[in-house]
Amino acid sequence: MRARCSSARQARLLRLYLYLCYVLIDAKESVTIGVGFVRLLDPLELRGLTLRNRIVMPPMQTGRATVGGAVTDRLIGFYVRRSAALGLLIVEHCYVSTRGRLSVKQLGIYDDELIGGLERLAGSVHAVGASVVVQISHAGGVANRKVIGAEPAGPSATGRTREMTRSEIEDLVEEFAVAAERAIKAGFDGVELHGAHGYLLNQFFSPLLNKRGDEYGGSLENRMRFPIIVVEKVRESVKGRLLLYRLGADDLAPNGTHVEDSAALAVKLEQCGVDVIDVSGGFCGSEPKQLRGVKGYFIPQAYEIKKVVRIPVIGVGGITEAEYADRLLREGKVDLVAVGRALWKDPRWAEKAVEALTA
């Protein structure tokens, strides 16, 4: 009897030992390839919306709008051809104010008359199964003087830019909010605020350009103030729809924004209701010369941001291979992957990626 009890006890101990070994191995594997084994083709739930996969087309200016910023058939065709297998399309930056325009044929969202064309664009993308948000922006100090017919205004005065007044800042918050309302009326699944690449929200955040002496400049907390106020107001405008923020996480300059600063802003963005953080470059732009040829060149910054927030993070930067994009998710580096220039060159990139990863 004792022999049987001893054998049974040994068997239980052996099962327990094997179970613990399995747990330890699984935990080690999860650290290596990403908790939950998330893949590029896995769906993602966001505020009741289901993205069919984690492939994102980031905003890239096409120059296919009218001179007045309206949607054209050519613009719709460009996006529809690239959306057949996308999880999420982020439409190129639309200027919220005529004073914040960058180029002649930039897409606009500054007037109610533009809603009809934007509605056709959103509906056409939805028809091929992709979710779609639109990026809204203001060029600030880098607005095109000839195009806007006035001196550009930014957070601080420079050789070519005047400093915005407090009343102008307050008016701009409202213009962002009303532009977001237009996006929702047009049927988009949400909006993305452009806080990267040296545009207005990024200009206020970066010490490279923001030299203000009031509550909007100086300390990190003050430099975050205007972007956060815009986020809070736009969150109200889009109600239950998606709100993304494209974060210029690194200026790649000694006296500029570093990822530690952006991590602090990312935490604030999450607290204010941002659903997804789209990590890119700051004043260095979307394709810094010093990082050309580096695969996934903004992934390290995205990974650092991901460590401090619970909301999904998009990674971008020189990603051209589906297998590499898939690996980034399996390793837990990001939650979604944005593929820009490769999709620009090959409209079927997302379709080919699905085929490659399901073969």
Pair of tokens at residue 34: 């990403």
- Strands 44-46 and 49-51 turn out to be antiparallel
Nearest to residue 230, comparing CAs of 210, 255, 202?
A: 202
Angle between helices 73-82 and 115-127 (to 10 degrees): 30
Handedness of CA 11, 13, 16, 22 (dihedral sign): negative
- The C-alpha torsion from 159 through 176 and 144 to 205, rounded to 10°, is 40
The answer to whether 185 and 115 have CB atoms below 8 angstroms apart is yes
Pair of tokens at residue 253: 């300059």
From 199, 216, 245, 297, active-site residue:
199
Largest pairwise CA distance in the chain: 97
Using DSSP's 3-state secondary structure scheme, residue 234 falls into helix
Radius of gyration over every alpha carbon of the chain, rounded to an integer in angstroms = 23
Spatial separation of the C-alpha atoms in residues 155 and 171, rounded to whole Å = 14
Helices (H), 218-319: 220-238, 259-271, 299-306
To the query of whether residue 19 is one of the catalytic residues in this protein, the response is no
* Terminal Cα-to-Cα distance of the chain (whole angstroms): 57
Catalytic residues: 199
